[in-house]
Amino acid sequence: MSTQISEQDIQKIVQSVLQNVEAVMKEMPQSANTPIKMKQAVHPEQQIATSAKPQISTIQPQGDHGVFASMEDAVEAGHKAQLEFMRNFQLKDRERILSAMRQAVLAEKENLANMVHEETKLGNVADKVAKHELTALHTPGTEILKTEAFSGDDGLTIVEEAPFGLIGAVTPVTNPTETILNNSIGMLAAGNAVVFNVHPSSKNSCAYMVRLLNKAIKAAGGPENLITMVGNPTLDTMQVLIDSPKIRMLVGTGGPGLVKTLLKSGKKAVGAGAGNPPVVVDNTADLEHAAKSIIDGASFDNNILCIAEKEVFVLDSAADDLVFHMLNNGAYMLDQYQLEKVMSFALEENEKQLAQGCSLDSKREYHVAKKWVGQPASAFLKEIGVVTNGEVRLLICGVDFDHPFVQLEQMMPVLPIVRTKSLDEAIDFAVKAEHGNRHTAIMHSKNVDHLTRFARAVETTIFVKNASSLAGVGFGGEGFTTMTIAGPTGEGITSAKTFTRQRRCVLAEGGFRIIG
C-alpha cells in the first residue's frame, strides 16, 4: 500500500522539523563546548559583520597571558584568537582594545624602560621612556585604513583592506618592547593576531610587555592570546614560526641576514634591514641649528636607533663652525691619539673574514665590539682616561672617508666627521657610505636645489631636511611613528595599512544603476 504525499504536505513536514530543532537549540546552553552552532562559520580573512557584538573571549588560555613554552603552542593560540577576533569584533571594538593597550604602556613606561635597560644594557633609561611614549601615542590605529569604492552603470565595487590572518614577527634587541607595541597596534588594528620571536637578549622584558598587552586586551573585552611569543626564543623557534602553515605573513626588524631568511620562506614578508644614515651639511645651513639637531639624533639612546646620524659629510668651508657649535652643545672632540685608543677596544679585526652585525659583507676589515654598542659617551672617555667637567652626550672625530667608523653602522655615540671639497663630493661620499640600504639620510641646507640633489641621489625611505633624524619617525616632526622601517622590501614606514591585503567585492549587473 502506498501513501501519496503532496508537495504541500512535504513543506509542512519540513517546517515542523525545523521548528522543533530551533526549540531544542534555544534550550541548550551556549558555550565553547557546544558541538552545534546555528551561526555560520566565517573565514578568518572575512571582514567583521556590521551586526556582530563584542564578546568576552571563550578561548581558554594555555600559556601565561600570551607567553608560551613552545612556539607551536604560541602559534596555535594566536591562530584561534585571530579567528575569534574576526568573528566577533567590529572596528570600534578594535579601537577600544588599542586604546587599552596604549594606556597600559603609558602607565608603565618608566618601568618598561628600566627593565629593557637592565636586561639589554643598551642605551639609556630617559630615552627609552620617550620611545615608549612616542610609540604608544603616535602609532596609528584603524583610522589609517580606508575603503575604496567604485560605482557606475555596471554596479558597485568596494576594495577593502582585509587582514592577512596570523602574522609572525621577529624583533631586535635595540627597540624590543617598543617594536612589540608598535607592531601589535598596527597588526591588531588591521584585524590580525601576531606571534613574536623576540631577540633572546630581551626575552624577559618582552615577555613582560606581551603579558601587559594581553591583560589590557582582556580587560577591554578582547580575546586572549591576540599577541603571543615563545618564552625562550632561539633560531630553531624562529624557523618553526617561519615554516608554520598557520602563519600567513612574516615581519622582521633587524639586519640583512634576517630579512634574507624571511624572504626565502615563500610567504609575504616585510623586512626592515640595516641602515648607516649619512648627514650632509653645506655652507648655506644654519650651522648652530644643524649642530644641535645632529647631536640630538646621534646621541639619542646612545645611537642605537637605525635612523640615527652615523657619519657627517660637511663642506670644508662650513666644518669649523659646525664643530664649534657641536662642542658648545654637548660634544667632545677626540684627538688622533684618543681616537686610536677608542678604536683599539670598540672595534675588532675581522680575522676570520666573517659577516657580522648589520652587514653581509665578509670582506670588511673590522667589526664593532658588541660590548660597546649602545654604551654612553662617558664610558668611552673613562676607558681612555679622560675626565671632563660637564656632561658629554656625543664623541666626535675628524676622519677620512674610508675610516671604519664611517663605513660601519657602529651604533655607538661616536660620530665621524668627514670634510669635503664640494657638495658633489659630499653627496658622492654619503651615497657610498649608506651602502644602498635606502634607509635614512639627513641634510642641513637652505638651498632647495641642494636638498633635492641629495634626496634624488640617496633614495632613502626617510629623508630629513634641517632637523634631527628623530623627526623622520614623528619625534619633533610631523607624521606617525614606526619601529619597523621596511626599506629592503619596499613598504617603507609601516602601519596598519602595511599588514592588510586588498580584497575586491563586486556587485555587478547594474545593481546600483541610476535611472534618470
Question: pTM of the prediction?
Answer: 0.83
Determine the Cα–Cα distance for residues 474 and 482; give it in Å rounded to an integer.
8
**Cell triple for residue 114?**
628600566
Q: Say if residue 321 is in the same domain as residue 285.
A: yes
Separation in Å, CA 141 to CA 138, 176, 404, 462, 486:
9, 20, 41, 21, 18
What is each CA distance from 12 to 3, 15, 21, 464, in whole angstroms? 16, 5, 14, 74
Where would I find the beta strands (DSSP E) of 39-141?
A: 67-68
Residues 137 and 181 in one domain: yes
Starting at the edge strand found earlier in the chain, the sheet holding 440-444 runs: 331-333, 394-398, 414-420, 311-315, 278-281, 440-444, 462-465
Spatial CA neighbour of 477 closest among 489, 493, 488, 491: 493
Residue 130: closest CA among 142, 140, 143, 117: 117
Q: How far apart (Å, rounded) are the C-alpha atoms in residues 232 and 117?
A: 19
CATH number reported for the structural domain that contains residue 474 in this entry:
3.40.309.10
Q: Mean pLDDT in each 10-residue stretch from start to end of the chain (516 residues)?
A: 45 46 42 34 32 39 85 97 95 96 98 97 97 97 94 91 96 96 98 97 97 97 97 96 97 86 92 92 98 98 96 97 97 96 89 55 72 96 91 96 94 97 98 94 98 97 97 94 92 95 88 50
Together in a domain, 330 and 245: no
Distance of alpha carbon 247 from alpha carbon 233, whole angstroms: 17
Which amino acid appears at position 118 of this protein?
Answer: E
Task: Please report the pLDDT score of residue 274 as a whole number.
Answer: 86
Q: Which domain holds residue 200?
A: 67-273+496-503
Q: Give domain status of residue 156, yes or no.
A: yes
User: Does residue 230 lie within any of the structural domains?
Assistant: yes
Identify whether 508 is part of a domain.
Answer: no
The position carrying cell 579601537 is 95
Q: Is residue 183, in this structure, part of any structural domain at all?
A: yes
Cell 660620530, residue located: 415
Query: CA–CA separation, 289 vs 297, rounded Å?
Result: 12
Extended strands (E) in 234-330? 249-253, 268-272, 278-281, 311-315
CA distance 450 to 443: 9
> Which uninterrupted H or E stretch holds 162?
strand 155-163
The grid coordinates listed for 66 are: 600570551
Q: How far apart are CA 292 and CA 509, in angstroms?
A: 63
pLDDT of residue 390: 83
Which three cell numbers mark 139?
602609532
Domain count, the chain: 2
| 222 plus 290 within the same structural domain | no
* Same-domain check for residues 465 and 370: yes
β-sheet with 500-507: strand ranges across:
148-152, 155-163, 500-507
pLDDT at 39: 33
- Report the phi/psi class of residue 391: left, alpha or beta, with left for phi > 0 and alpha for psi in -120 to 50: beta
Q: What element of type H or E holds 193?
A: strand 193-197
* CATH number for the domain harbouring residue 89: 3.40.605.10
Are 114 and 257 contained in the same domain? Answer: yes
Residues 313 and 335 grouped into a single domain: yes
